């Protein structure tokens, strides 16, 4: 069923059909009741207008009247939940199916800055910046635009030095890395604006330096013995345990980033070539990693005896209906759970997410005297200095650098 095939459908019939579809996807009783609560209100709204057939415009009017939802405006959680319930009806009405979606966050720019911000981000993409990096830049531009609006800046060309100084003070509440990347993005934007004659002077020189030094903190890493204890802490007799173990193995044995584990598809598992091939989310570069024996066994054990029956293309899915793909915070929770249950000593500065296992692998390779260029290749570090950072946690290498203490007899 789609809008072209059937332009009219009774709202009551649409609600009944979508309800059945959600039940087929094994939505729980309590979840279904939250959907029906919103749908009952929607039905009453349509009845009050004496409308029997579903119309998107009327549904949007309902969301505005009942929940105060205005397109393009930020929404609170109850508003997001209500919109999701109505969106399920819209999805089925248009596409004939319920399609779970993970939408990228939409960034809202003040109207007077929209054109330059959009053209600048398009310019960055053409220059080769990854989509993920550009998403971060869009967030910084959104903050900058909001601030300029509060300062009553009407045109981009109206920006003055004092606006940039006061904006740097405005973002001082954020962590050091965020301040540095935000100011860096604004500086780059101003260079672009000056080079394209959108402003008369090079205001990028006015942007203050954050003072934050990258890589000031050591990467959080566990010893190889501690990593083995973390892996052994997983209860592999349960479906959840089989899933968690396979995920941790990918992080600990191959150093795969959390985002890439989340996005891993069956098509990425090249069993015939004994490797895993995928395009990395962070760098948007293709990489091929060996399918180590114990890693392959963990994945097979999960697929055969742990993974729920679902047509999702992602290797790893949630074990709660409707068995959707993961969100980033889920992998962090999985890693933290098993690290804490491993009985190892957790230092105050230790990280508990999956990235700490990636750091641990790099540290382990360094301890085994693996050359830095090889480690850079395995981890796809564009900047060799990133790999060099692990020298700071390579204890044996640091011992080799120790100088002999001069002994002077008296």
CA dist., res. 89 & res. 86, Å (int): 5
pLDDT for the residue 311: 85
* pLDDT tens digit sequence for 246-261: 999 988 888 888 888 8
pLDDT for the residue 366: 62
pLDDT for the residue 399: 47
pLDDT for the residue 379: 61
pLDDT for the residue 36: 93
Q: Report domain extents, the chain.
A: 11-95, 111-206, 224-398
pLDDT for the residue 177: 80
- Segments of the chain with pLDDT less than 70: 1-7, 72, 99-105, 212-220, 327-329, 347-352, 362-410
pLDDT for the residue 329: 65
Burial (0-12, 13-18, 19+ Cβ within 10 Å), 195: exposed
pLDDT for the residue 99: 58
* pLDDT tens digit sequence for 273-318: 999 998 888 777 888 888 999 999 999 999 999 998 888 889 998 8
Phi, psi of 271 (to 5 degrees): -60, -35
pLDDT for the residue 396: 45
Query: Contact at 8 Å (CB) between 218 and 232?
Result: no
Domain 11-95: which topology?
DNA polymerase; domain 1 (1.10.150)
CA dist., res. 180 & res. 219, Å (int): 19
| Average pLDDT score over the chain | 80
Burial (0-12, 13-18, 19+ Cβ within 10 Å), 396: exposed
Q: What is the CATH number of domain 224-398?
A: 1.10.443.10
Domains 11-95 and 224-398 in one fold: no
- What are the distances in angstroms from CA 95 to CA 5, 28, 88, 139, 321? 10, 24, 10, 32, 21
Domain 111-206: which topology?
DNA polymerase; domain 1 (1.10.150)
pLDDT for the residue 164: 92
pLDDT for the residue 214: 56
């Amino acid at each position: 069923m789609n809008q072209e095939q059937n332009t009219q459908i009774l709202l009551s019939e649409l609600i009944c059909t979508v309800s059945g579809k959600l039940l087929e996807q094994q939505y729980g009783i309590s979840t279904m009741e939250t959907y029906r609560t919103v749908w009952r209100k929607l039905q009453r709204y349509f009845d009050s207008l004496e409308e029997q057939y579903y119309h998107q415009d009327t549904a949007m009017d309902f969301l505005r009247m009942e929940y105060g939802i205005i397109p393009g405006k930020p929404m609170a959680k109850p508003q997001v939940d209500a919109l999701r319930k109505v969106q399920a009806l819209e999805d089925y009405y248009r596409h004939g199916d319920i399609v779970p979606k993970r939408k990228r966050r939409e960034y809202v720019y003040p109207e007077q800055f929209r054109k330059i911000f959009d053209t600048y981000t398009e310019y960055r993409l053409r220059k080769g910046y990854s989509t993920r990096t550009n998403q971060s830049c869009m967030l910084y531009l959104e903050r900058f635009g909001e601030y300029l609006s509060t300062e009553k800046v009407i045109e981009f060309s109206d920006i003055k030095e004092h606006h940039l100084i006061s904006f740097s003070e405005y973002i001082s509440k954020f962590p050091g890395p965020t301040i540095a990347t935000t100011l860096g993005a604004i500086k780059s934007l101003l260079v672009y604006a000056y080079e394209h004659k959108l402003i008369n002077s090079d205001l990028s020189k006015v942007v203050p330096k954050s003072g934050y030094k990258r890589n000031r903190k050591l990467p959080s890493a566990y010893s190889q013995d501690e990593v083995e204890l973390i892996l052994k802490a997983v209860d592999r007799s349960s479906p959840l345990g089989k899933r968690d173990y396979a995920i941790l193995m990918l992080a600990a044995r191959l150093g795969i980033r959390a985002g890439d584990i989340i996005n891993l598809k069956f098509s990425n598992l090249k069993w015939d070539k004994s490797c895993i091939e995928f395009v990395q989310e962070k760098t948007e570069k293709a990489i091929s990693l060996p399918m180590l024996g114990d890693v392959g066994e963990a994945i097979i054990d999960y697929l055969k005896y742990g993974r729920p029956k679902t047509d999702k293309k992602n290797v790893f899915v949630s074990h709660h209906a409707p068995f959707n793909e993961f969100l980033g915070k889920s992998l962090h929770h999985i890693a933290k759970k098993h690290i804490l249950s491993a009985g190892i000593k957790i230092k105050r500065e230790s990280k508990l997410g999956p990235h700490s296992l990636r750091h641990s692998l790099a540290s382990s390779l360094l301890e085994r005297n693996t050359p830095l260029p090889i480690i850079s290749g395995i981890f796809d570090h564009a900047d060799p200095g990133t790999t060099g950072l692990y020298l700071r946690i390579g204890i044996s290498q640091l011992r080799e650098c120790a100088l002999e203490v001069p002994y002077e007899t008296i």
